[in-house]
Amino acid sequence: MSISLSIIYLIATITFVIGLKKLGHPATAKNGNLIAAIGMGLAIAGTIFIHDLQVPTIIYVLIGLAIAIGSAIGAWMAIKVKMTKMPELVSLFNGFGGASAALIGLVEFSKNVGDKMQATTIVSGIIIGAITFSGSLIAWGKLNGSLKSVVKIPFHKIVNNLFLIGIIAFAVFMVTTGVNEQVFVGVLLATGLIYGILFVLPIGGADMPVVISLLNSLTGIAAAITGILYSNMVMLVGGILVGSAGIILTIAMCKGMNRTLGAVIFGSFGSTDTTAGENKRLGTIKKTNPSDAAIMMNYATNVIIVPGYGLAVAQAQHVIHELEELLTKKGVNVKYAIHPVAGRMPGHMNVLLAESNVDYSLLLEMDDINPQFKNTDVVLVVGANDVVNPAAHNDPSSPIYGMPILDVENAKNIIVNKRTMNAGYAGIENELFYNSKTVMLFGDAKDALTNLVSELKNM
């Protein structure tokens, strides 16, 4: 490797680290993403043009064409995607990263079959890449509604674990025997793809944030493996950063869902039967209207807003920001309560509210906001469901029992905006709706909030 290319890789690596650091806060996330993207662009350009190989012109043309087409498609998808579809886009991109690693392994296997270390690296990349690709496609299908939230597979824990053990045993056989048959590589790829499907199919929709995070980590690991294969330090470091950050985020998501990482990997994850918590009548509900809700909020001192997926579906983030500003002008202290797994992906609500220029200082995480609910006059829950369900504390038979939630039930008054009384993504009934302090404001979030703002302006 030339000195100039090494310098470029060093600069790229530094931009990755800086970019990742800045991604840790909404106020700097945009710049962090841009810095890391510039570094990746430098690394790609250096890899293509700084080398000692004799490369035909047509290869440069094909590479340039592939980059142009991929960039155009990626930019179009990123611009056109709705905020509600962002988790699906992330899943899809994760899958493409895994597919790339698997394809590289298919191409390189026959060239390195005699080297056990290289062969180990390659088969690892094929397995992880294949699992990430098929698993991400299944996650994408669940998120967009084309697949059921939970697909039952008989004895799926045993089947999945045995299948994974079989894949590992087959990979060890290929490496130790030095077999150089393309059919074996194809079988390895196929089994990896099948396991990715078996892994994600039984997982419930409410657990998708953790699945996305884990698959993102696997994509990083696959990239790091490819970096080892090509002795490319920038790919190795980039992959390690993505993989390690993904694992840390996955652990945080598991904590937020009251899961363990072992349960995620080995099969007892998100497949709990939800029928125990369904159709259990807890009392009667009380309805309200925008006028009465506005009166309640107008005379409050402290208001907490709890955003959820329904807010994203209705594209009501700008209206809720207008509501927050209006209340603040009236002397009301307004804050937002952000649950770590609210929405359909980690940080979904933070990104949604950042789009409407909500002050970042008003976004409080679960551990910080929970002690404040008892001193809150009104809580407005918009489109959130499972993350505010008291069954997590009160009902040992509930699938979400033990899951850390926002302690909305401790507030003095609760307004819940929902379109219908349908269950949330976990498919269970919410005790909060029947609480004596709760009133239901039914309707599309954007329409309901617009009417609420209108009523407040007239007071």
Catalytically active residues are: 386
Secondary structure of the chain in HEC code, one letter for each residue: CCHHHHHHHHHHHHHHHHHHHHCCCHHHHHHHHHHHHHHHHHHHHHHHHCCCCCCCHHHHHHHHHHHHHHHHHHHHHHHHCCHHHHHHHHHHHHHHHHHHHHHHHHHHHHHCCCCHHHHHHHHHHHHHHHHHHHHHHHHHHHHCCCCCCCCCCCCHHHHHHHHHHHHHHHHHHHHHHCCCCHHHHHHHHHHHHHHHHHHHCCCCHHHHHHHHHHHHHHHHHHHHHHHHHCCCHHHHHHHHHHHHHHHHHHHHHHHHHCCCHHHHHHCCCCCCCCHHHCCCCCCCCCECCHHHHHHHHHCCCEEEEEECHHHHHCCCHHHHHHHHHHHHHCCCEEEEEECCCCCCCCCHHHHHHHHCCCCHHHEEEHHHHHHHHHHCCEEEEECCCHHHCCHHHHCCCCCCCCCCCCCHHHCCEEEEEECCCCCCCCCCCCHHHHCCCEEEEECCHHHHHHHHHHHHHCC
CA angle in degrees (0–180, nearest 5) for 444-380-84? 45
